[in-house]
Amino acid sequence: MKVIEGVQAALAWCEERRAVGGFDAEVDAAVADIIDQVAERGDDALLELTQRFDGARLDAVEVPAAELLRRAERVPAALAAAIDLAISRVTAFYEAQREHGFETTARGVRLGQIVTPLASVGCYVPGGTAPLFSSLVMTAVPAKVAGVDRIVAATPPDRTGSVPDEVAYVATALGLESVVLAGGAQAIAALALGTRSVQRVDKVVGPGNRYVTAAKRRLFGVVGIEALAGPTETLVLADDSASVRHVIADLLAQAEHDGAQPVLVTTSRELAGAVLAEIEQAAADLPTAATALASLADRGVVVHVADVEEGLAVLNAFAPEHACLLVEDARTVARGIVNAGGIFIGEHSLEALGDYLAGPSHVMPTGGTARFASFVNLRDFQKVIPFLEVDASFVAEVGPSAALLARAEGLEAHARAIESRLQQE
């Protein structure tokens, strides 16, 4: 792991990280070709690309309802109950976020806004070594609470060429319209553009690899997206009250994701030394040891600062996806955080718990975008539409000023449209 000494060096490192960006020209070119293939040949392209990238020969893109149910029934009862608990808790969290717009009326003016759900959403579920079915919970549940009528899931097939059992269970439990067996850029293209079997959607959400991200970047405008997600990251802010065991556990919980960045910012040299001395051995015991050790070696960072205030300065400059506070009086320290995807307050509020069933979606801004972006929430699945209703007296009161503003901008027709109402008086 890289070691950085002092707040100034750490802030400079954060600035360098922000400047790097995530665009890869080679990946973008490959994704452009995939999108063109899906646009031109639809389902045939999806089937060919699935065989090439996932090694699965499929007869159809969409999973039949009977197969979905059969697969869902294979999920062990204990795991099914855990998924049900996650769905229940995430639903309750987003129910509390509901907003219904507002209306104000004063002096002949009625102003307000209405909140309306999107008509359709596609939820991407990453595959790879294992299906991340929890991502379907974390995207489809807020979409459902927001009132989205048509929700489609897309995920790569498993080794047998079918939908993963756990994905089938979540899709069935939530009553999703369909599940599409496609992964990577081709899945995003199908959801955005539509094919014979896949009806296009208004927005695509969910995490994915760099090809998925590149496809979302290219297709934004054709379809809505929630964010351009990068590799996952955790920043643990710890003082000398923190448990070395907990710090290592939280860093490794992030490091076992491919491409992840685990960061420790601490006021304690003793803690930093203990973590550096023990973390590789702890990683070596994991089934995901190769990935975790690569994350630690390539992107792991330990920052030593003088005090918690300096630690907060580094945290806010880094703008982590996950900000984990293993410090005394963590609740007070949390009030100083302005840039983070999510805040995990105190030693029991571990980020790994939030990944599954605490309540908020685990789809959070990465790569420093927490400076301006938010975690997936109801607003990602809704539109806010303002409305205006005024009477003649209001036009008479403000119309001359509005016409003056229009002419100052060289827009005579605007001014005359306003004055046409004034002349009615």
pLDDT tens digit string along 54-111? 989 999 999 999 999 999 999 999 999 999 999 999 999 999 998 888 899 988 899 9
Q: Pick the catalytic residue from 166, 256, 321, 347.
A: 321
- Is residue 61 located within the same domain as residue 127? yes
Asked which of 225, 253, 272 is the last residue of a domain, the reply is 225
- Is residue 59 located within the same domain as residue 191? yes
What angle (nearest 5°) sits at the alpha carbon of residue 212, between those of residues 209 and 214?
110
pLDDT in the model for residue 39: 97
Provide the domain limits for residue 220: 25-225
- Cβ distance 43 to 196 under 8 Å? yes
pLDDT in the model for residue 219: 97
- Is residue 140 located within the same domain as residue 251? no
pLDDT in the model for residue 425: 52
- Is residue 301 located within the same domain as residue 404? no
Helix (H/G/I), strand (E/B), else coil: 149: coil
Model pTM? 0.92
The predicted-structure confidence for 300-317, as pLDDT tens digits, reads as follows 999 999 999 999 999 999
Of the candidates 152, 91, 141, 95, the one whose C-alpha atom is nearest the C-alpha of residue 119 is 152
- Is residue 354 located within the same domain as residue 409? no
Residues 6+ apart with CB under 8 A from 38: 45, 46, 49, 186, 189, 190, 193, 195
Task: Give a yes or no: residue 314 inside a domain.
Answer: yes
pLDDT over threshold 80, residue 170: yes
- Is residue 178 located within the same domain as residue 289? no
pLDDT in the model for residue 287: 94
Task: Give a yes or no: residue 257 inside a domain.
Answer: yes
Of the candidates 129, 180, 183, the one whose C-alpha atom is nearest the C-alpha of residue 153 is 180
- Is residue 168 located within the same domain as residue 275? no
- Is residue 70 located within the same domain as residue 191? yes
The predicted-structure confidence for 242-267, as pLDDT tens digits, reads as follows 999 999 999 999 999 988 999 999 99
- Is residue 412 located within the same domain as residue 351? no
Q: Residue 138 carries which side chain, given as an amino acid letter?
A: M
Task: Give a yes or no: residue 292 inside a domain.
Answer: yes
Asked which of 207, 225, 243 is the last residue of a domain, the reply is 225
The CATH number of residue 334's host domain is 3.40.50.1980
Task: Give a yes or no: residue 336 inside a domain.
Answer: yes
Task: Give a yes or no: residue 385 inside a domain.
Answer: no
- Is residue 18 located within the same domain as residue 87? no
pLDDT in the model for residue 22: 66
Task: Give a yes or no: residue 193 inside a domain.
Answer: yes
Q: Which residues sit opposite 83 in a β-bridge?
A: none
- Is residue 239 located within the same domain as residue 252? yes
Distances (CA, A) of 393 to 118, 145, 176, 413: 36, 41, 50, 22
Asked which of 225, 258, 275 is the last residue of a domain, the reply is 225
User: What does the alpha-carbon distance between residue 20 and residue 3 come to, in Å, rounded to a whole number?
Assistant: 20
Task: Verify whether residue 321 is a known catalytic residue.
Answer: yes
- Is residue 95 located within the same domain as residue 144? yes
Q: Give the total number of structural domains in the chain.
A: 3
Q: Pick the catalytic residue from 257, 304, 322, 362.
A: 322
The predicted-structure confidence for 369-404, as pLDDT tens digits, reads as follows 999 999 999 999 999 999 999 999 999 999 999 999
Task: Verify whether residue 362 is a known catalytic residue.
Answer: no
Pinpoint the alpha helices (H) of 256-345.
Answer: 269-284, 289-299, 308-318, 330-334
Task: Give a yes or no: residue 115 inside a domain.
Answer: yes
pLDDT in the model for residue 230: 82
Which of 7-21, 207-221, 329-343 has the lowest average pLDDT? 7-21
The predicted-structure confidence for 96-128, as pLDDT tens digits, reads as follows 998 888 899 988 899 999 999 999 999 999 987
Distance of CA 34 to the CA centre of its chain: 23
pLDDT in the model for residue 129: 72
Task: Give a yes or no: residue 384 inside a domain.
Answer: no
